[in-house]
Chain A
């Protein structure tokens, strides 16, 4: 039930009661989440758990970008889809499934490949970006525009029994290019195998990191990358250093304001 409190915050107290009771969220935090726009690029193995988690958390608007269609080999981990969905557009189906789960959600499907043409407009108009993609080229593209528009980027990836999650705050943490942007070619020749539940684990971690960042809480990874390995059930953190010559983020480090402070300001390079 949506209620207005003494501070004029419209919140569904019943649906979000388990979150509102948490320290660090409360009614103000829940209202804050309801005002946020999140761009999710990729509605596959990582996208399945994280999209449901974002919708459940009460994010105000979600845009889902994916040009792919559902194939049978997706179904071991992409539980947004059913066998009858094979051949249909993922972004459109994902939007429908989220609206079944949460009818009050605002969600836009974009059934396009992310490119230099559509990325600027999409990334600029959202508060936070989540990469849930399956290749390095797209991650590099997303990272480039997140640096230009100084948007927080939550990234994740999986392989076999392992995966990683990271939060990139342009100008405050090393960016994706600082570490992985050595070359833009993917080094994986064949589609890599992955245990379905690993994608679930990492996708859920990405959603958790996104909610924390949207609430304005401290970045729990603080520039480090978290790796999960199911072989020994370990979470390990990897400290990385920024590249002082990084073409995307090095100039941002010279500016005094952090990512949050500059979020609304359009950089000169994109005007």
Chain B
């Protein structure tokens, strides 16, 4: 799947977007969330991204140890807010686009 980052997320991850295969075979070693069943949740994707990006992702976006998603970000799956889907339990596929955007309210 494709993960797209906006605003300061670009600084923290060092990229504007990246790919994370989620339907590859279990032993392919392509990514930490590779499974054969195809049942991958957003939580698993975020954990994999935390492993990939380490501290900036863990501190600012998602901490898998406490299952804590910082609340000044929105996560969209194919343009829809996770809260309108099944939250972190929402299942994803390899063709999905996950967008992470900061809450931007100042004027």
A187 vs B74: C-alpha distance in the bound complex, in angstroms?
11
What are the 6 closest A-B residue pairs judged by CB atoms, nearest first?
A: A162-B7, A241-B79, A134-B107, A157-B104, A240-B79, A159-B104
**Interface size in chain B (residues, C-beta < 8 A):** 25
A229 B10 Cβ-Cβ under 8 A:
yes
A180 / chain B contacts, CB cutoff of 8 Å: 74
A187 vs B72: C-alpha distance in the bound complex, in angstroms?
6
A132 B107 Cβ-Cβ under 8 A:
yes
A155 vs B46: C-alpha distance in the bound complex, in angstroms?
30
B99 A188 Cβ-Cβ under 8 A:
no
**Interface size in chain A (residues, C-beta < 8 A):** 43
- B78 on the A face (CB < 8 A): yes
B99 / chain A contacts, CB cutoff of 8 Å: 238
A–B complex contacts, Cβ < 8 Å, 5 sampled: A136-B105, A159-B104, A229-B8, A231-B10, A241-B79
* Least Cβ–Cβ distance between B76 and chain A, in angstroms: 7
Segment among B19-27, B34-42, B54-62, B80-88 that sits at the interface with chain A: B80-88
A179 vs B76: C-alpha distance in the bound complex, in angstroms?
9
A83 / chain B contacts, CB cutoff of 8 Å: none
B103 A188 Cβ-Cβ under 8 A:
yes
Segment among A41-49, A91-99, A104-112, A214-222 that sits at the interface with chain B: A41-49
* Least Cβ–Cβ distance between B90 and chain A, in angstroms: 14
B80 / chain A contacts, CB cutoff of 8 Å: 240-241, 243
B contacts, CB < 8 Å to A? 4, 6-8, 10-11, 16, 71-72, 74, 76, 78-81, 83-84, 99, 101-107
B101 A227 Cβ-Cβ under 8 A:
yes
A227 vs B6: C-alpha distance in the bound complex, in angstroms?
7
> A225: nearest residue on chain B (CB-CB)?
B101
B76 / chain A contacts, CB cutoff of 8 Å: 179, 238, 240
From B8, B79, B107, A162 is in contact (CB under 8 Å) with B8
From A158, A179, A182, A245, B106 is in contact (CB under 8 Å) with A158
A21 / chain B contacts, CB cutoff of 8 Å: none
- A199 on the B face (CB < 8 A): yes
